[in-house]
Each structure stands twice: as C-alpha cells, then as structure tokens.
Amino acid sequence: MLRVWSYLLQLLGLTTPPHHLPIGHQSPALPVPELHTPISPEDFFAQFVIPGRPVILRGAAKSFPAHQLWSDEYFLSQPESAEWTIAYELGKKETRTGGQEPIPFAEYVRHYQTEDWYLVSGLPKFLRRDLPVYPAITCDFVLHHLMDDLVMWFSSGGTKSVWHFDDYENLNCLIAGDKELTLADRTSIEQGHMMEAGSFSAVDVDAVDLDRFPGFAHIQFYNATISAGDCVYIPTFWPHAVTSWGRNIAINAWWEIYKTPISCGPEKRDTFQDVKFLTDSDLGGGGDFVDPNDSRGPVENFRAFLWGSRAMRHGGVLTREEFVEVLTGVDELLQDGTFDAGDSKLWEAVFDRIDENKDSVLQPTELDKLRTNTIFRSILTEASQERIGKENRHEL
C-alpha cells in the first residue's frame, strides 16, 4: 500500500521515485494475465501473439517428461552427456561481458552447484525426446516455418539477467525452480536506456540509478512470477529482466515474428526432437557458440529490423515515409552489396511492391508475406530495375 501511495504522489509531482531500488520497483507493477486451462495455437496467436500481450500459462509444462525426469543423476546417466558440448556463462549476474565457455554437459552438471556458472546454450538434442512441443505452438505452420531455436537456461539459482529485449517471440517453460520476470511493453524501449549497439541496458538491475537512467522512473512495469511447470509468453521487443531461485531449468522456444492469424491441422504431440529449427544453437559434439542473430537470413533480418523500429513498435504499422526513413542507409540489410541501401528511391519502390492494397500504409499481414529470401530478393531486383528504368526515361 505504501508503494501505491508513493506512486500517486509521484504522479502528482509531489515527490520523485526513490533511487537505487531494484528494477520494477520504481512504480507498482501490473500483473501479467494468467491462463489455467489449455489454449489452442490459433487462439494463442489471436489473443496474445498477434497483439503482443504477455501471458502466463499455469501448469502447461507439468505433464512434460522433463518435469519429472531432469535430475542431475538423470543427466549424468545419459551416455551422450560426457561428450555433448554446451556453453555456460561466467557469473550468475549477467553483464554480457564475460563471454561463454564450451565444456561437456556432464562436466557442467558435476560442478554448477559450487561454481558461479550459468548454462545458456541450445538444448542438447539427446534431451529433446523428454520435451513435447509446447501445446500453444503445436501447429505445423509454426513448427515448419517459424521456429528458430530452443535454448536451455540451467543454474543452481540466484541468476539475474540484464534489462534487455529479444527480437524473437519467446515462450519460456520452467522445468525446475522459480523465476520472477519484470517486463515493460515494446513502447518502453527508449525509456530503458538500451545500449546504442545492442538490445540491453547498462543499468544495474539491483539498484537503478535514476540520475544516470531517468527513463526508468516513467516505465509501467509488469510482473510475472512462475514456478516449475509454468510457461510464460514474452512478446517480441518487450524489455524484461529475469531473476531465478533454487535449482533452475528453463527452456525457451524462439520463433520469428508473424502477426497474421494462423490455421492449424489436427494437434500432434511430437517432441522437439522432431522439429527442424532455422538456427539451432545446440553445440552438439563441439564447435563455437551460435548467436541466433548472426544466422538469420536477409529476409528475417529485414522483417525484424522493421518490427524493431520505433514507428512500428508504437503504431503497429508503417507509413511509406516511415518505411523509407527507417531503411535508408542501413547497409547490413543488403549483405552482398548488389543494391544501394542509401538509395531512398529504391526503398520507395520496395514499399510500393509490399503495400498490396495501395493505401500507403504497411500492415503486419503485408509484411508477413515476405517469408523467404527468394521473395525478398525478387522484390529488391524488381524495385531496382524500376528505379533504373525511371532514371533512364528521365534522362531521355
């Protein structure tokens, strides 16, 4: 109650938020909605994914074999664990400066309880047989065209993430332990003082310095506390920080942004062992850590870049002028140098091809039709040829 009164006084301008409080304590947080019964993939997309609304799916993972099986003894009993490589972070409080170390999964299991380690790695394939496809995304279209990665988060507890956002849709299911998530909607990215070249903030999540990071005084926070057997959906571009307690295992499924209603066939309860991912950061028998953002193709990068723009996050659509302003000069979207990213006329011609209903506004459903690199390349080629043709006619 004292926090509520304090916040009301802040709104009236009679006081300022206290300094050096944990993130999310600068104002009363709203609870993330909860579902206690199963939801179909079609309804899950329509009610939560398309509008970008977080939700807790209580008990959605309790029936998973992993929920009953995944003890340390079970992990070590698997022959593959001695050779299967995973990556862990040095330090349970994330800084994104410590790098990652690859070691055999079994070695991590033997030492993580006494070391300051945090496994963040693609879920080893030999464990995927214990993990059914999450019912809310058990849909052929989602599994065959949108799934990017399946990531394991495994520690002895006490982990704290940075304040960050992901440019993937995220359904995180907790197999062991407890987690608290503090979130803010996608329009709050600027207030969270994200690093210029990244998707995270340098703010200390344990003690927010409002002199250095004043934007946090104006964020509406949301809270989600989950226990083993629960899942939580975190929409794309929603900033969040996560704290964990107790022996903690979570598996998050990442998939590409898609805001068009989906249609699914009869539900199948296949395990994730049967799913082919676009990225898949499982190290397997060895190799370097794979950053999902480094393995995206041109069209995935293009769509994610547009969705991450301020105009799209705030308004949900892009005008022709906003589209051109967002893209002009962004060379990394045109990786091979064939096209000139600084040519605003090229982007105008691209927009005209994507804008199917010719209303000068790019809708999410129009952007969703750019699903393959072939389609994207074809549109760029046609737009470039039209641009050259107009220049030639003008010269004549």
Digit-coded pLDDT (tens) for 99-136: 678 899 999 999 999 999 999 999 999 999 999 999 99
Q: Other C-beta atoms within 10 Å of 248: how many? A: 22
For residue 228, the surrounding DSSP H or E stretch is none
| pLDDT band per the 50, 70, 90 thresholds, residue 96 | confident
Q: Residue 329 has what pLDDT?
A: 79
Q: Other C-beta atoms within 10 Å of 369: how many? A: 11
pLDDT tens sequence across 359-396: 999 999 999 998 888 898 899 999 888 877 766 655 54
Cβ 342 vs Cβ 328: under 8 Å:
yes
Cβ 167 vs Cβ 239: under 8 Å:
no
Q: What percent of the chain has pLDDT over 70?
A: 88
pLDDT tens sequence across 33-72: 999 999 999 999 999 999 999 999 999 999 999 999 999 9
Query: What's the mean pLDDT in 304-313?
Result: 92
Amino acid in position 13: G
DSSP-assigned letters across all residues of 80-137 = GGGT-EEEEEE-SB--S-S-EEEEEHHHHHHHTTTSSEEEEEEPPGGGGGGSBPPGGG
Share the mean pLDDT of the chain.
89
- Burial (Cβ within 10 Å: 0-12, 13-18, ≥19) of residue 56: buried
| Token pair of 9 as six digits | 């006084």
Cβ 181 vs Cβ 252: under 8 Å:
no
Least confident of 128-142, 159-173, 235-249, 296-310: 296-310
Q: Residue 393 has what pLDDT?
A: 59
Q: Residue 210 has what pLDDT?
A: 96
Least confident of 267-271, 316-320, 346-350: 267-271
Q: What sections of the chain are H helices per DSSP?
A: 2-11, 41-44, 65-69, 72-77, 105-111, 140-145, 292-295, 298-308, 310-315, 320-327, 344-354, 364-368, 373-395
| pLDDT band per the 50, 70, 90 thresholds, residue 298 | confident
pTM for the whole structure: 0.90
Query: What's the mean pLDDT in 140-153?
Result: 93
Q: What percent of the chain has pLDDT over 90?
A: 69
Distance CA 353, CA 380 (A): 9
DSSP state of 333: G
For 161-213, list the strands marked E by DSSP.
169-184
Pairing between β-strand 361-362 and β-strand 318-319 as defined by DSSP bridges: antiparallel
Query: What's the mean pLDDT in 311-335?
Result: 87
Q: Residue 273 has what pLDDT?
A: 86
Q: Which residues lie closer than 8 Å to 182 by C-beta, 6 or more apart?
A: 23, 24, 29, 221, 222, 223, 240, 241, 242
Helix%, strand%, coil% for the chain, nearest 5: 35, 25, 40
Distance CA 40, CA 47 (A): 10
Q: Residue 341 has what pLDDT?
A: 80
